[in-house]
Structure 1
Amino acid sequence: MLSRVADNLYWFSRYIRRAENTARLVGVGSMLQLDLPRSVRFSWRPMIDTVGSGEIFTALHPDAGTDVADAEVVRFLLLDEQNPSSLTVSISGAREILRSIRDTLPQEVWEAVNDLHLYLGGSGERALQRRYRLEFITRVVDGCLKVSGLLSANVSRDIGYQFLRLGTGIEQADMTTRIIDAGASGLITPRSEEDREAFRNMQWMAVLRSLAAYQMYRRHIRQRVSGEHALRFLLQNTEFPRSVQFCLARIQHVLPTMPPRPGVDRHLNRVVGMLRNADPVWLAAHDPAAFMDEIQVHLSNLHGAVVEGYFYN
């Protein structure tokens, strides 16, 4: 397979998974905002920093400060074409890639991505209104899952499919840590210290629900939601498809089917070891966001090794 085609397949799967999880990230805030009493202060700004776009947002909105309206943040994360990690940019990127490799993937994939692109163009502004936001997010997530289902059901298990799986594994692991980061980043300011624990658990509940993980959490953990148990499940569970551990295991299964690249194996083993040695109890009591940032750095290094080893070698 040409390295250009492999690169496109890898990025196509990343863009689709990034779009899905960007919508889920906004869902964390939207669900919390609906559940909280009006007297509790909710801040949307940490979500922008979670996706690494704080500097871009500040440059575009120099007077925004830390107390940013939800409509501004939602527009930036979902619709702003100047934000390279926005939902709109991700879907547009996936669509442009498909233009150049349409003979590589089934026609139904093109139709599904194009439908999603047209929906964003026609209904994107609805997401700025709270009453329509969850409906919009659900429609986007369903569209992305449809694309993933078509790829899983209709694509031959050749080397191209392995690059799709590789991109999916890296992107989902990264986005899961970012959604966890959002839940641990002080979105809620409680009225009193006595309320802090209850609201913190509400944040973890929203994180689980946004990742469609709540029911599986209850099956595996069978205890009330807490930071410790949510972190253990989303980071280290080996059976839930969006847990970081599961995504890394997926990559470990993919690499033996591809040409060997020692640099990729080395970076993957480093992040796997870091995750296995993590203590969810300690993380929940201290600063989960710092650990998520560290994992994201290692995943970025893994991505760099993939690019160097397979696309520009």
Structure 2
Amino acid sequence: MLSRVADNLYWFSRYIRRAENTARLVGVGSQLQLDLPRSVRFTWRPMIDTVGAGEVFESLHPDAGGDVGDAEVSRFLLLDPLNPSSLRSSVDGAREILRGIRDSLPQEVWEAVNDLHLYIEGNGERAITRRYRIEFISRIADGCLKVSGLLTANVSRDIGFNFMRLGTAIEQADMTTRIIDAGASGLITPRQEEDREAFSNMQWMAVLRSLAAYQMYRRNVRQRVTGEHALRFLLQNGDFPRSVVFCLSRAQRVLPGMPPRPAVDRHFNRVVGITRNADPAWLAAHNPAKFMDEVQVQLGDLHNAIVQGYFYS
């Protein structure tokens, strides 16, 4: 397979999974806004920093400051074409890649991605309002899952499919840590200190729901939602498909069927070891954001090793 085609397949799968999880990230805030009493202060700005787009946002909105509303943040994360990690940019990136590799994937995949593009163009502005935002997020998540289902059901298990699996797994692991980061990064400021634990548990419940993990959490953990239990489930559970360990372990199983690249193996082992050895109880008692940043840096190094090993070697 040409390295250009492999690179495109890898990034196509990453863009699709990024679009889905960007919608889910906004869903964390939207779900919390619906559940919280109006007396509780809710801050949207940490979501922008969570996806690493703080500098882009400040350059586009120099007078916004830290107290930005849900409409501004939702527009930036969902629709802004100048934000390279926005939902619209991700879908457009996947669509543009697909134009060049349409012979490599079934026609139904192109139709599903094009439907997503047209839906965003026609209904994106409605998503800025609270009334229609959850509906929009659900429709986007369903559309992205449709693309993933078509790829899983209709694409031959060759080396091209392996590159898509790599991209999907790494992107999902990265976005899971970012959604955890968003849920734990001070979105809620209670008026009274004794309310902090209750509202913190509500944040973790919103994180689980945004990752479609709440029902599986209840089935596997069988305890009330706390930061410790939610972190252990989303980071280390070996059976839940969106957990970081599950994603990375699944990606590791792809490597024996690909040309050997020792640097890629080393980076996989490093990030899997860091995640498996994390102490969820300690993370929950402190600020998990620093650990999530560390995992994201390691995932970035893993991505660079894949690029250097397979696409530019």
Residue of structure 2 in register with 1:118 after alignment: 118
| SS of the residue 2:103 aligns to | coil
Residue of structure 2 in register with 1:153 after alignment: 153
Residue of structure 2 in register with 1:46 after alignment: 46
CA drift of 1:248 comes to 0.6
Indicate whether 1:19 and 2:19 are aligned: yes
TM-score (structure 1 length as normaliser): 1.00
CA–CA distance in structure 1, aligned partners of residues 116 and 33 of structure 2: 26
CA–CA distance in structure 2, aligned partners of residues 162 and 4 of structure 1: 15
CA–CA distance in structure 2, aligned partners of residues 230 and 61 of structure 1: 34
- What amino acid is the match of 1:124? G
CA drift of 1:191 comes to 1.2
Q: Which structure 1 segments of 5+ residues have no match?
A: none
- What amino acid is the match of 2:51? V
CA drift of 1:132 comes to 0.3
CA–CA distance in structure 2, aligned partners of residues 240 and 272 of structure 1: 15
Please list, as runs of the form range in 1=range in 2, the aligned pairs for 1:198-217 lying within 5 A after superposition: 198-217=198-217
Residue of structure 1 in register with 2:166 after alignment: 166
Residue of structure 2 in register with 1:276 after alignment: 276
CA–CA distance in structure 2, aligned partners of residues 177 and 304 of structure 1: 18
CA–CA distance in structure 1, aligned partners of residues 139 and 111 of structure 2: 16
Residue of structure 2 in register with 1:296 after alignment: 296
- What amino acid is the match of 1:188? I
Residue of structure 2 in register with 1:196 after alignment: 196
Residue of structure 1 in register with 2:220 after alignment: 220
Residue of structure 2 in register with 1:286 after alignment: 286
- What amino acid is the match of 1:56? V
| SS of the residue 1:242 aligns to | coil
CA drift of 1:98 comes to 0.4
CA–CA distance in structure 1, aligned partners of residues 211 and 276 of structure 2: 21
Please list, as runs of the form range in 1=range in 2, the aligned pairs for 1:1-40 lying within 5 A after superposition: 1-40=1-40
Q: Which structure 2 segments of 5+ residues have no match?
A: none
Structure 1, residues 199-234: CA drift from partner, whole Å, max 9, x if none?
000000000000000000001100000000000000
CA drift of 1:238 comes to 0.2
| SS of the residue 2:102 aligns to | coil
Residue of structure 2 in register with 1:184 after alignment: 184
CA–CA distance in structure 1, aligned partners of residues 273 and 244 of structure 2: 12
Residue of structure 2 in register with 1:231 after alignment: 231
CA–CA distance in structure 2, aligned partners of residues 51 and 248 of structure 1: 20
Residue of structure 2 in register with 1:60 after alignment: 60
CA–CA distance in structure 2, aligned partners of residues 124 and 132 of structure 1: 10
| SS of the residue 1:103 aligns to | helix
- What amino acid is the match of 2:221? I
Structure 1, residues 109-154: CA drift from partner, whole Å, max 9, x if none?
0000000000000000011000000000000000000000000000
CA drift of 1:287 comes to 1.2
Residue of structure 2 in register with 1:137 after alignment: 137
Please list, as runs of the form range in 1=range in 2, the aligned pairs for 1:65-80 lying within 5 A after superposition: 65-80=65-80
CA drift of 1:292 comes to 0.2
CA–CA distance in structure 1, aligned partners of residues 11 and 18 of structure 2: 10
TM-score (structure 2 length as normaliser): 1.00
Structure 1, residues 153-205: CA drift from partner, whole Å, max 9, x if none?
00000000000000001000000000000000000000100100000000000
CA–CA distance in structure 2, aligned partners of residues 23 and 54 of structure 1: 18
CA–CA distance in structure 1, aligned partners of residues 219 and 49 of structure 2: 32
| SS of the residue 1:64 aligns to | coil
CA–CA distance in structure 2, aligned partners of residues 129 and 10 of structure 1: 34
CA–CA distance in structure 2, aligned partners of residues 163 and 170 of structure 1: 11
Structure 1, residues 77-118: CA drift from partner, whole Å, max 9, x if none?
000011000000000000000000000000000000000000
CA–CA distance in structure 1, aligned partners of residues 293 and 165 of structure 2: 23
| SS of the residue 2:297 aligns to | helix
CA–CA distance in structure 2, aligned partners of residues 240 and 310 of structure 1: 29
Structure 1: 4+ residue segments shifted above 2 A: none
- What amino acid is the match of 1:217? Y
Structure 1, residues 41-97: CA drift from partner, whole Å, max 9, x if none?
000000000000001101111111110011000000000011000000000000000
- What amino acid is the match of 2:173? A
Please provide the CA RMSD for this pair: 0.4
CA drift of 1:251 comes to 1.1
Indicate whether 1:96 and 2:86 are aligned: no
CA–CA distance in structure 2, aligned partners of residues 179 and 69 of structure 1: 19
- What amino acid is the match of 1:97? I
- What amino acid is the match of 1:260? P
Percent identity between the two aligned chains: 81
CA–CA distance in structure 2, aligned partners of residues 287 and 75 of structure 1: 28
